[in-house]
Amino acid sequence: MRAWEMLAARYKGNKAVWAYDLLNEPCEGVVAEGVMNWHQLATEAARRIRGIDAERAIIVEPAPWGSPEALDWFEPLEGIANVVYSVHMYLPHSFTHQGVHRESAPIFYPGEIDGKFWDKAQLLKALEPVIRFQNDHCTHIYIGEFSVIRWAPGDSARNYLKDCIEIFEEHGWDWAYHAFREWDGWSVEHTGPKNATQRADSPTDRLLLLMEYFRR
């Protein structure tokens, strides 16, 4: 709590700071007696921030991992103004993370993934908890992360990103691509197989897609 009070005091009035994101991908198991669960902790942290800074937005993600389906059992923070609710979109995980933790056969999108056909309609279905939460509580939604590994086969990565962005835009959600110059696996400046660690000589189809939307 003191850390958030210190941050709020430090950045209050700083126009370069748009919001305070309480915790990236919170995850909780069994909560010991007498200890706050994540919702209680987020609410108290938000109240402490609001006691210092009444203007900056406060971003909160549901547990576990800020997943879309977690919003089905997450309640808005009571009595806190200007809260933005955020989830991360990596579904289906076996497609977006193919080859990250272990080698796997190429997985295409759209296509059958884990016994289910994934296309834009299926992505929309996976995001229905976010839509319900937005409609039920009239909240501001932010997709704090979404991505697909750059070596997804063919034009699968661009297809996936395009369908995701179209859904986000259709529902008025803010979004941020993960990530810029963090690791070449997520980089839209890289292309080719895993061992191609140099940036591409020309803009990739994924970079051109993002730039098209950024220009708007």
pLDDT digits (tens, 9 = 90+) for 172-203: 999 999 999 999 999 999 998 888 889 999 99
The three-state (H, E, C) secondary structure of 18-53, written as one string: CEEECCCCCCCCCCCCCCCCHHHHHHHHHHHHHCCC
Give residue 156's identity as a one-letter amino acid code: S
Instruction: Give percent of the chain above pLDDT 90.
Output: 92
Residue 89: closest CA among 142, 135, 21: 142
Distance CA(174)–CA(146), nearest Å, equals: 11
> For residue 140, is it left (φ>0), alpha (ψ between -120 and 50) or beta?
beta
Structural domains present in the chain: 2-214 (3.20.20.80)
